[in-house]
Amino acid sequence: MARRLTVFGTGYLGTTHAVCLAELGYEVLGLDIDPVRVAALAAGRLPFFEPGLEDLLRAGLDRGRLRFTTSYEEAAAFADTHFVCVGTPQRGDGYAADLSQLHACIDTLAPLLHSPCLVVGKCTVPVGTAEQISERLSQLSPAGSGAELAWNPEFLREGYAVRDTLHPDRIVAGTRSPRASALLREIYARPLADGTPFLVTDFATAELVKVAANAFLATKISFINAMAEVCEATGADVTMLSEALSHDDRIGGRYLGPGLGFGGGCLPKDIRAFMARADELGVDQALSFLREVDAINMRRRARMVDLARELAGGSFEGRVVGVLGAAFKPNSDDIRDSPALDVAQTIHGLGARVTVYDPAAVPNARRAHPELEYATSALDAARDAHILLLLTEWPEFADADPEVLGKAVAERNMVDGRGALDPERWRAASWHYRALGRP
Ligand code: UDX
C-alpha cells in the first residue's frame, strides 16, 4: 500500500505540494479550513492559475490518490507524516510575518496526534519559529516527544510550481533525528534519484536558507534596477548592461532582468519579515541593505509613473491610459503586491482614465481594484489611449504588432516597464517609445 501523507493548508504551496506528492505515488489528504476551497479542489478546480497543475490535480483525484477535507480529526488519523503549508503573510501592523495560521494549525493538530509521527513545516517563517513549534508540538500532543518536527522549506516559483516541486534544485531538511532525515529521504526518493542534492541541517539553518535565497534574489533584481537609475542619468542602456554582465559566469543573468521590479506574495514580504526578525535578534545592521533593496524596488514604480506623466504632457487629468498587465509576473493570475496594479492605481488616482488588460489576472484585479476599468484584450485596452504602459511581460504583449495597436490608440505613446519590446520596431511604427533604464 502506498505511503499516506497529509498536507495542511491548500494555498499555492499546499495545493502544489499535495498534488505533486500524489503524482509521486503517495496517498494524499489535503486539509483546509475553507470549505469552499476544499469543495473546488475536490471537484478538480484549481482556485488559482498555475500551468499544468490542474491536470495533475484531476489525475490525482481520478486515481483515487488525492482527497481533500476540512476535518483535522480525519487528517490526523489518516497518516503519520504531516506537511504544514499554511500561509505566513506580512502582518497588517508592520514588517513582521503573521504566524497566526501556523500556530492555529499546530494547536489544532497536535492534541490529535496520539502516536509517533513527523510534522514537516514547509512554509516560510522567521528563524527561530521551528524551535518554538517543536516544543509546542510535544507539549500539546498525547504522543509527547514522539510527535517530531522537521523543517523542509519550499523554493517553488509561481508559473513553474510543478517543475520546481518535482525537480527541485535542492532539498533542505532541518531535522533533529536520523529517523526524520531518513523518512524525508524516502518520501523524496524520486527527485533524489535524479541527482537532487539533499542537505541535512539544524532548524535555524533550514529556516534561513529560504529567506536568504529570497533576499539574494531581491538584491540581485534591485542591483540591476539601481544600475537602471544610473543609466537614466547617463544615457546608457540597462538592457545591454544587464546582458553584458550576464556573460560573466560569476554574475549570471538570472534575476538580473531590469524593469518595474519585484512583487508577489513572497519576495517583498520575505525581505521585510527578515529585517523585522534581524531587529529582534539585534543584528539589524547586518540586513540594513535590504531596506535599500526595498526602496530601490519601490522607486521603480514611482519612476514609471513619472515617465508616463511626462508622455502625457505633464498631467494625467483627462488622459486615457491603457495598461498591459496586472499580475505581478507573467504566467500568473497573482496580484499580491503587483507592481503593475500599483502603478495603474496611482495613475488613476492622479486623474487618468485607466483601462487594464491581463491574460489571466483580470478577475482578481477587478475584485481588488473596482475603481479601474478592464478590457478583454490588449487591443481593447489600447482603444483611444493617449499612453500605453507595458507593466507585466506576458509573451503576447512582447509579440504585439505596433501597427495594429497604433490604429486603436489616440496617440502612439508607449512606456515599456519591463524592457520587453524592441524599441526600433516600435519607433519605426511612429511610436514615441520610452522604457525604464533605456535611452
Ligand atoms: C519567488 C522565488 O523565486 C521562489 O524561489 C520562492 O519560493 C517564492 O518567491 P515567485 O514569487 O513565484 O518566487 O516569483 P519570481 O519568479 O521569483 O519573481 C519575483 C518577482 O521578481 C516578479 O515580480 C518578477 O517580475 C520580478 N523579477 C524577476 C524581476 O523584476 N527581474 C528578474 O530578473 C526576475
339-395 residue pLDDT tens: 999 999 999 999 999 999 999 999 999 999 999 999 999 999 999 999 999 999 999
Angle between helices 288-311 and 203-234 (to 10 degrees): 40
- Residue 414 and residue 432 in contact, taking contact as beta carbons nearer than 8 Å: yes
CA torsion 38-44-50-52 (nearest 10°) is 150
- Calculate mean pLDDT across residues 163-170: 96
Atom of ligand 1 nearest to the CA of 338: 23
User: Cα of 164 to ligand 1 centre, how many Å?
Assistant: 13
Strand-pairing partners, residue 323, are 356, 389
Which among 167, 262, 271 is the best mutation to test ligand 1's pocket, defined by most ligand atoms within 8 Å of the CB?
262
Mean of per-residue pLDDT scores for the chain = 97
- Calculate mean pLDDT across residues 150-166: 96
By DSSP bridging, strand 4-8 and strand 81-84 are parallel
Give CA separation, 127 vs 137, 165, 199, 206, 378, in Å: 17, 23, 18, 9, 44
Give the span between the Cα atoms of 16 and 269, in whole angstroms.
Answer: 21
Q: Residue 314 above 90 pLDDT?
A: yes
- Give the burial class of 248: count Cβ atoms within 10 A of its Cβ; 0-12 exposed, 13-18 middle, 19 or more buried: exposed
- Residue 378 and residue 357 in contact, taking contact as beta carbons nearer than 8 Å: yes
By DSSP bridging, strand 373-374 and strand 387-390 are unpaired
User: Cα of 143 to ligand 1 centre, how many Å?
Assistant: 40
pLDDT band at 431 (very low <50, low <70, confident <90, very high): very high
- Calculate mean pLDDT across residues 332-343: 97
Q: Residue 306 above 90 pLDDT?
A: yes
User: Cα of 329 to ligand 1 centre, how many Å?
Assistant: 8
Q: Report the pocket of ligand 1 as residue ranges, CB < 6 Å.
A: 155-158, 214, 217, 221, 255-257, 259, 261-264, 266-267, 328-329
Which among 242, 266, 343 is the best mutation to test ligand 1's pocket, defined by most ligand atoms within 8 Å of the CB?
266
pLDDT band at 165 (very low <50, low <70, confident <90, very high): very high
Which among 217, 271, 336, 397 is the best mutation to test ligand 1's pocket, defined by most ligand atoms within 8 Å of the CB?
217
Looking at residue 50, its pLDDT comes to 93
User: Cα of 430 to ligand 1 centre, how many Å?
Assistant: 33
Looking at residue 181, its pLDDT comes to 98
Hey, CA dihedral for 163, 164, 169, 175, is it positive or negative? negative
H helix intervals, 25-167? 35-42, 53-62, 72-78, 100-109, 129-140, 161-166
Q: Which position has the higher pLDDT, 90 or 188? A: 188
What pLDDT, in 10s, does the model give residues 176-192? 999 999 999 999 999 99
Looking at residue 412, its pLDDT comes to 98
| pTM confidence score | 0.96
Tell me which residues are annotated as active site: 266
Looking at residue 1, its pLDDT comes to 83
What pLDDT, in 10s, does the model give residues 21-79? 999 999 999 999 999 999 999 999 999 999 999 999 999 999 999 999 999 999 999 99
